[in-house]
Structure 1
Amino acid sequence: MSRITAGPHRCSGRVEVFHGGSWSTVCDADFDQRDAEVVCRELGCGIPVEVLGSAAFGRGEEARLVNGSDSCSGRVELQYLSEWGTVCAVSWDMRAADVLCAQLDCGSAVAVVEVDWFGEGSGHIWADVFDCQGKETHLPQCGISSWSRAACSHKHNAGVICNGSSMAFHEGRVRLSGGSECQGEVEIYFRQDWRRLLLDSWSLSEASVLCRQLGCGSVLNYRSSPSTTEHKHMCVTGFSCSGSEAHLGNCSSAQPVNCSSGEQLYITCSGKRDNTYQ
């Protein structure tokens, strides 16, 4: 089984074959026009127009983040045929961002953002969609398909913030509002914005971790927020903790959702804040 990756569309790019349980790059010294005909026929791509050397589509390592505060945050840019181009935000997700951050030695992703963070790029908009599972170490290890270029412009360039960036410093902080120091509506700084937590996926385990993170002792109770005002931003749901963690960020990952999809969380902890675990 073969595939073509890291090119401007599904029928142009670097040739890889599935062997021994993983995808491997084909050496150009052993690849000729007849081999190319077989691959193109197998992939339903007609006949080969040109067979290029390995330099044409790189080694699968040509990716960068630009216009951020450091090399671990910025607009996503990929290099094909020695030319840098942007990618479309609608075809980019957190799993692909995690792989890119790992590839750049920047840890994992904390946010995927659009053009208002890192500005518009210029030149090509690559149509790649990376179907990553999140365990890969380089983007070319993910399955790659194509997105319609007509659906995107530089006004929708994707950006990524990795936890190795200084921009991720506040990620995972929590605060309470509408009550006292240790009682109130819960908000978490999640993917670079303050968001309310939803009650639907909450249990005593998560509540215990939250009170501990706030330095507010143990949990007394948690319930639906008495506030009737919908939070102006997205809410967060899906945290799953064992109860022993010191920080919500150590629990399994959550997801942003529309605030109207559930009741927001109000918590009461036992003690006054006595440290700065935030």
Structure 2
Amino acid sequence: MKMKVPKSRLKMLSQKKMFWIHKVSCSGTEPHLANCNVQISPKTPKHPCSNGMHAIAKCVAPPTSANGNGNNFKKAFRTMEPLVRLRSGPHAGEGRVEVLRNGKWGTICDDKWNLVSASVVCRELGYGSAKEAILGAQLGQGMGPIHMNEVVCTGREKSITECKFKEARIAGCQHEEDVGEKSSHKRIISFWLKRELLCKTGFVLLLFQIRLVGGRSSEEGKVEVQMVIKGVKKWGAMCGELWGMNEAMVACRQLGLGFANHAIQETWYWRGTQGAEDIVMSGVRCSGTELSIQQCRHHSVVHCPRGGGHRSAGVSCTDHAPDLILNAQLAQESAYLEDRPLHMLECAHEEECLSKSADDMSWPYGHRRLLRFSSEIHNIGRSDFTPRNGRHTWVWHECHR
């Protein structure tokens, strides 16, 4: 054990005679140690902790999935896929709570939501205790079914699916309802009531492995990461090749700056840190769900043919971002096949909306079989969705003039 190592931190701590708390008693359901019954040590105790020594805790990661508790929760995907997830949160451990039931992800209606239930979700996801239980759709509105209502947890559950709850449809949870009180105010939202939370992540070490430099503000700049090169930790830049929005999203999340606004492949206008100009990471490919850029796939040996310097990767981060969701059910229900004459598809052909095989047809004679459907797209994020290029750069086709 580390206690037996003379220079270990625990050994040095055990030799100190300072105790802030003399006695502590918890039931096990408290979300924080501060909620337990404690006895503060006197300023000048005669016999500090006479019958014991410093309290030591060893934490282990929770299982990656929960079995549920017969509450009709069934996994729809891989065996190890969890039954709960957080969505639309700008930081790790923050977001709208969604649960998987009968193969479909759904939300939870906002009644009786408290810190105890929030802590169950946080611990299930491996984040520790909850920092805040957020009411309302502050972190974006969801789509799909509402699975649970009036969730009540004791604090001992390993999964939110083991807590007591009511069926949302039976309890009368509507898409438009008054949100419960928060800070002595009531609000009305235009979609569903959501349960959201903010967990204590404990990922502070990840933050010290990445930084932004040279930007006009703390939310933008050239990305510099700390990597182990030949056994030595070294700061350096990232190759701008293949750098995209998925990679930028992971970088912004790791920095605690929310979402990616822009993924920048050339940063010639930003100066890097002196001594950290070399490229230490290349070929980075992220799925977008990683907690740190170091967890993404990347070259084992740095290979950046275009070089570094002004071609290093950069990001611009924001706390608010759009989140577009397609109404898949409407698209499926409205789909049909239609044979359309070619002379009615000239604009679509000129705008390259038809497949390449249309180029070989005898225009304007003949027809094409099209798959037609209605589309409905919701922006459930916290900012407007705007085109990448400004309106002044748009080129209007003659068909639309």
Structure-1-length-normalised TM-score: 0.37
Higher helix proportion (structure 1 or 2): 1
Q: Which has the higher contact order (CA 8 A, sep 6+)?
A: 1
Structure-2-length-normalised TM-score: 0.26
Higher strand proportion (structure 1 or 2): 1
